[in-house]
Structure 1
Amino acid sequence: MASEEHYGLTTFDEFLTYWGEQRPDGIALEDGERVTTYAEAERLTRQLIAYFHANNIGKGDMVAWLGRNSDRYFLMLYAAARMGAVIAPIGWRLAPPEIAYILSDTGAKLVVAEDAFLASAEEVAATLDPRPRVVRDDIAFAEVANMEPVDYAPPHENDPVLQLYTSGTTGNPKGAQLSNRNLFALRKPSLDEQVPWQIYGPDDCMLAVMPCAHIGGTGVAAIAAANGVRILVMPEFTPGGVLDAIVKGATHMFLVPAALQMVIQHPQASGTDFSNLRYLMYGAAPMPLELLKEAVRTMPQTGFLQVYGMTETCGTVTMLPPEDHVLEGNERMRSAGKAVPGVTIEVRGADNAEVPRGEIGEVCIHSPSNTAGYWNLPEATASTIDPDGWLHTGDAGIMDQDGYVYIQDRIKDMIISGGENVYPAEVENAIFGHPAVAEVAVIGIPSERWGEEVKACVVCKPGAELNAGDLIAYTRERIAPFKCPKSVDIIPEMPRNASGKILRRQLRDPYWEGRDRQVS
């Protein structure tokens, strides 16, 4: 059978059926001692569909996962995508109120949780009406093992099968709905153009190490399943674990810059043989040029691919190819690359018209990978996706004459810290209740480790005193630790414009002076 025969497939159901027949003994998932072949994955996902049916889950119904990266999560994703249910992974680092919001918003009938997070899941579920069933992952899969595979009708390729939550400017996250078509539609254009890094061999191995509640963690599973290659699952990121995975045969991976920095600066890195690693994708946060040059020096045989995208685009819509990465550095290494095949990008002005090349504007994307919208948020959907199907990213950028996109800043105030999206409004809402706080503005400041880190600028109430450590601890009780401020500035008053709006840029600028405000 010709190797190109799978190029036109566009759904998890088609890929699992195909690779279950063509590579039945090929490894689909490896998670510690658990190894699943493609033939086993094909059968297990049909057993999972039976399990979902037994839990009254049909097309369009939601199933939540609360845990770290796991082969069990990916099998649940595959099963949901085959039958048209929607899987919603929840970040395991979120605080209980945040977990409660997501579960309530999804209306999930079933929550599968790892043991470490089971108590939190049960505590939250008890507050919801209707109350979802909560089951520990190993118990659920013990039940699955006793199920007979069932017949099912695959969903339409545009039906949602994955719901990823992205932080919202109002403080509540938004559920971006993604379909089989969204996840796979850009694959064939790249294969038609014979893009080298889109061509996988049977011995290739994708490392899944970024959190599965993010597109950077779940998206690699779609790549691997489409190409019939092994996914090596790491429950969570550790630099030593990544280095070990490379030695064990990981050929492809995606890392955020903060993670990449920890890997190449780890003591173990100097003695690691990187020859197995064919391609390393990086993005989702600022990438300092000096760090990128150090990475290229450390892994000279690896092809580096800078990628730019967002949850709403299923990840990558631009790519800076390996040939634009050089040891001495160059201007293009500051860019996010060019649109990948199948994607159109324009930089537009306030009138929604494309600006001339070299001028700054909002980066807008037209792609079959664009989400159809946010779950139950028609106004948010309409403000992000215009009537012609262009997705407005909120990022300010410049496109040069060759089509390379340079992201300059964020039109919105989002902070990206270690690849995690943090919105100031969400953090401010958590801080405002402190009895000593009169006003607060949250900003992102440079961090050598995380790219950016969260800082709170606070005006105290008259006569009140505030300890920075106490305020940070107070915030950690209300939101996830990665969203909490790492530092606090006590200031006498907020800078404001004539209409009374806080001038965040005025608070940020002293920290960014002399730096490239680049986001990749």
Structure 2
Amino acid sequence: MRAVRRFTFRPEDYRASFSTSATKCKMRMPVTGACRLARASSLVRWTSSRIAGRGLLSARAYSSKPLSFSQGPEDPPLLTHTIPEHFASIVSAHGDRPAVVARAPTALSSASTTPITTELSYYDLDVLSNSLAHGLRSLGVRKGDRLAVSLGNGAEFAALTYAAFKLGAVLVPLNPGFNAKQVAAALRHLGVEVLVIGKVTDLPYKPGRGRSNLELLRALVPDLEKGSVESEAVPSLRTVVAVDNLAFHPQVEFGRYRALTRYEELLAGGRGSVVPDEALRADETINIQFTSGTTSQAKAAMLTHTSVLNNGHLIARRMGLVPGDRIVVPPPLFHCFGCVLGYMATATTGAGILFPSPAFDPAATVRMVAEYDATGLYGVSTMFVAVLEALASGAGGVRQGEMPRGLRKGIAAGSSVPESLMRRLYETVGLEELVICYGMTETSPVSCMTAPGDPFEKRTGSVGRVMPHTKVKIVDPGDRGRVVERGERGELAAAGYLVMKGYWGDEEKTAEVRVEDEEGTVWMYSGDEAVMDEEGYVEITGRIKDLIIRGGENIHPLEVENCLFQMEGVKEVSVVGVPDERLGESVGAFVVVKKGWKGEGEDGDEEVLTRDAVRAWVGEHLSSHLVPKHVFWIDEYPKTPSGKIQKFKLRDMAKEMLGEKKD
């Protein structure tokens, strides 16, 4: 038996989900005669001159070979209405279908305990978000206001998302793992007036053992006993709404803090339709996402109704989502992976999204897949590795061979996915239609994606081809005016509806990466190194800043990582450049060993993985200059909220450890 918390409403209580001024939903017609890069050799010279005329390459780049430029199809047409308007059409068509199923652990939960489950149909989600929108309006939230939400995956976050969108407020999702300084900096930068935050933050891999947010709240609002919010750290802040997840962590007490507004108070505002203070426009900012910050301080990217809605819709189309799908999504809602690839993709098709836990828990993930007969599963590489380990050990009460037969779809994104891992997911989990997405927060986020029907080698060796209504080019990093030939590596840039409006309050950083060419096309430069083949498939070969230059030779970390990932005893690996007095840089490999193994020099009775064995493996499979000079053992990588490894921190760690050896 499952303990299920249901939101149900009588048909007579239901009203139209969203109303606005007398605007009508329109669909943009396909552009006819769109210029595409010709592949026929007889047209290459003509095409090169046309591209040069459009500012895509310099005259000296005139070449007889195809160029690394691709334009996606114009079908299906872009959606031109706002997110609430589109959501209303989904509710009308699929109101009785499951929209959100969310689970949360009980205190100190384990595989034997029963999690708390919330189930919402599309009707339920619509009415609940209406109530929250009215409650937020009573707090003074209006169109254009930034609404910060710091929650794990769950029904509350899902409903607040549409509540904000219906008001025209700008949703600002925050990583619940942020400390007080990070939260204060984000709120201050955006001038946030209302913050919604959980009383407890659930932690990845630690179900039921969360962090109390009391000290964080005291840092923001020192006098929580007062009846109002006063914050020197964030002068704009006037309301803090606390979501009561204490049922899962009963050791925390918040009852006496009068400065906090209870989440339940927002639900008393009524269930009727929501009319924004001003008519909403599709080109307006509706979401501000903080970038992952793999190499620098996170920035606040402004995304619109058009970019978020269409990116989710087109992702769903390419991967083949249908209304009957049930997709398990462990990636966080505070990141584009969870909110666009997950929530927006399912919500634009009438499919159901399933959150197995507020923060990633591999046992809860496999349990939800099995119990709800899921048809899809999302994750970054590290999540999928943990899922495979959970199946092998029987964690969550599910073992290999016991996953649903209908489990075929999925998305892997957020970081590189080794081919060997993809094969294991096909063979062990059954994800035969697993696709890979590539993008960045600033492009809403997906610009390239594989398709279930692509050849196997393309689905494992590339990030697919350009998405509809999108252009992609690969340029010389030292001369962005020169598009490189196909097969040549360079920096990837994307253009189209999906490009952000800019970084909030940072015109200088915006101008560095968001560049308008002479034809008026706005290009977003990724900083990622990529190569495009003759068929238009794109392979990401690493971050340009992560490139290792050893004695004048360029070394691509991903090549070494993919090699070591196939070595027995290696669970994860990340390769970085380490300063070298003679060569400039040398190769350093940070290795996480598998369970039952230990790194050379570590304590324990497990089988030993030696540094020489690591070097020998690379030397056997790759060129000698790719062999790591330094091998470091590490238990856990420093990562961004989305699961990307922060290589700049690994480089700092390498310098520190090597400095200690010299001393």
TM-score between the two structures when normalised by the length of structure 2: 0.60
2:361 to 238, 245, 254: 238
Answer yes or no: is 1:357 the counterpart of 2:357: no
2:472 to 332, 345, 369: 345
C-alpha spacing 1:410/1:170, structure 2 compared with 1 (3 Å):
closer
C-alpha spacing 1:196/1:285, structure 2 compared with 1 (3 Å):
closer
Per the alignment, residue 536 of structure 2 pairs with 403
Per the alignment, residue 206 of structure 1 pairs with 327
Answer yes or no: is 1:275 the counterpart of 2:405: yes
Contact 1:13 1:154 in 2 (8 A): no
Q: Secondary structure at 2:529's aligned position in 1?
A: strand
Contact 2:401 2:428 in 1 (8 A): no
1:106 to 186, 190, 194: 190
Answer yes or no: is 1:394 the counterpart of 2:527: yes
- Give, as a single letter, the amino acid of the residue that structure 2 aligns with 1:254: Y
Per the alignment, residue 503 of structure 1 pairs with none
Runs of 5+ unmatched residues, structure 2:
1-26, 28-75, 104-116, 202-212, 222-232, 245-260, 548-556, 562-573, 577-584, 595-631
How far apart, in 2, do the equivalents of 1:445 and 1:71 lie?
41
How far apart, in 1, do the equivalents of 2:347 and 2:219 lie?
33
Per the alignment, residue 607 of structure 2 pairs with none
Q: Return the offset for 1:23.
A: 2.5
Q: Return the offset for 1:169.
A: 7.5
Residues 138-162 of structure 1: CA deviation (Å, up to 9, x unaligned): 4644112211244324521111111
Answer yes or no: is 1:412 the counterpart of 2:545: yes
How far apart, in 2, do the equivalents of 1:130 and 1:444 lie?
45
Per the alignment, residue 224 of structure 1 pairs with 346
Q: Secondary structure at 2:425's aligned position in 1?
A: helix
How far apart, in 2, do the equivalents of 1:306 and 1:227 lie?
20
Residues 379-421 of structure 1: CA deviation (Å, up to 9, x unaligned): 111111111311100001111111111111211349999xxxx
Q: Return the offset for 1:262.
A: 1.3
Q: Secondary structure at 1:322's aligned position in 2?
A: coil
- Give, as a single letter, the amino acid of the residue that structure 1 aligns with 2:338: G
- Give, as a single letter, the amino acid of the residue that structure 2 aligns with 1:335: S
Superposition CA RMSD, Å: 3.5
How far apart, in 2, do the equivalents of 1:333 and 1:216 lie?
19
Per the alignment, residue 335 of structure 1 pairs with 462
Q: Return the offset for 1:321.
A: 2.4
Q: Secondary structure at 2:522's aligned position in 1?
A: coil
Contact 1:113 1:121 in 2 (8 A): no
Q: Return the offset for 1:188.
A: 6.2
How far apart, in 2, do the equivalents of 1:444 and 1:74 lie?
42
- Give, as a single letter, the amino acid of the residue that structure 2 aligns with 1:122: L
Per the alignment, residue 317 of structure 1 pairs with 447
Answer yes or no: is 1:77 the counterpart of 2:202: no
Answer yes or no: is 1:255 the counterpart of 2:379: yes
Contact 1:275 1:302 in 2 (8 A): no
C-alpha spacing 1:130/1:444, structure 2 compared with 1 (3 Å):
farther
Q: Return the offset for 1:242.
A: 1.8
State the percentage of identical aligned residues: 22
How far apart, in 1, do the equivalents of 2:305 and 2:234 lie?
30
Q: Secondary structure at 1:158's aligned position in 2?
A: coil
Per the alignment, residue 304 of structure 2 pairs with 179
Per the alignment, residue 657 of structure 2 pairs with 490
Contact 2:487 2:533 in 1 (8 A): yes
1:155 to 253, 268, 280: 280
Answer yes or no: is 1:131 the counterpart of 2:237: yes
C-alpha spacing 1:198/1:141, structure 2 compared with 1 (3 Å):
farther
C-alpha spacing 1:22/1:282, structure 2 compared with 1 (3 Å):
same
Contact 2:170 2:288 in 1 (8 A): yes
1:308 to 414, 418, 438: 438
- Give, as a single letter, the amino acid of the residue that structure 1 aligns with 2:510: T
C-alpha spacing 1:116/1:444, structure 2 compared with 1 (3 Å):
farther
Q: Return the offset for 1:324.
A: 4.0
Q: Return the offset for 1:83.
A: 2.0
Q: Return the offset for 1:482.
A: 8.0
Contact 1:77 1:162 in 2 (8 A): no
Q: Secondary structure at 1:357's aligned position in 2?
A: coil
Per the alignment, residue 368 of structure 1 pairs with 497
C-alpha spacing 1:481/1:99, structure 2 compared with 1 (3 Å):
farther
How far apart, in 1, do the equivalents of 2:414 and 2:593 lie?
14
How far apart, in 1, do the equivalents of 2:126 and 2:459 lie?
43
- Give, as a single letter, the amino acid of the residue that structure 2 aligns with 1:380: K
Q: Return the offset for 1:358.
A: 0.8
Answer yes or no: is 1:197 the counterpart of 2:319: yes
2:99 to 13, 20, 28: 28
User: Greater shift after overlay, 99-108 or 30-39?
Assistant: 30-39
Contact 2:311 2:446 in 1 (8 A): no
How far apart, in 2, do the equivalents of 1:170 and 1:308 lie?
18
Equivalences, count: 438
Write out aligned runs for 1:14-53 (5 A): 14-32=85-103, 33-53=117-137
Q: Secondary structure at 2:288's aligned position in 1?
A: strand
Per the alignment, residue 140 of structure 2 pairs with 56
C-alpha spacing 1:161/1:447, structure 2 compared with 1 (3 Å):
farther
How far apart, in 1, do the equivalents of 2:644 and 2:410 lie?
28
C-alpha spacing 1:74/1:124, structure 2 compared with 1 (3 Å):
farther
C-alpha spacing 1:53/1:104, structure 2 compared with 1 (3 Å):
same
How far apart, in 2, do the equivalents of 1:332 and 1:45 lie?
38
Per the alignment, residue 143 of structure 1 pairs with 265
How far apart, in 2, do the equivalents of 1:449 and 1:184 lie?
41
How far apart, in 1, do the equivalents of 2:182 and 2:333 lie?
17
How far apart, in 1, do the equivalents of 2:89 and 2:289 lie?
27
Contact 2:374 2:404 in 1 (8 A): no
User: Greater shift after overlay, 232-241 or 305-314?
Assistant: 232-241
C-alpha spacing 1:86/1:121, structure 2 compared with 1 (3 Å):
farther
- Give, as a single letter, the amino acid of the residue that structure 2 aligns with 1:396: E
Contact 1:345 1:364 in 2 (8 A): yes
Contact 2:313 2:349 in 1 (8 A): no
Of the two, which has the highest radius of gyration? 2
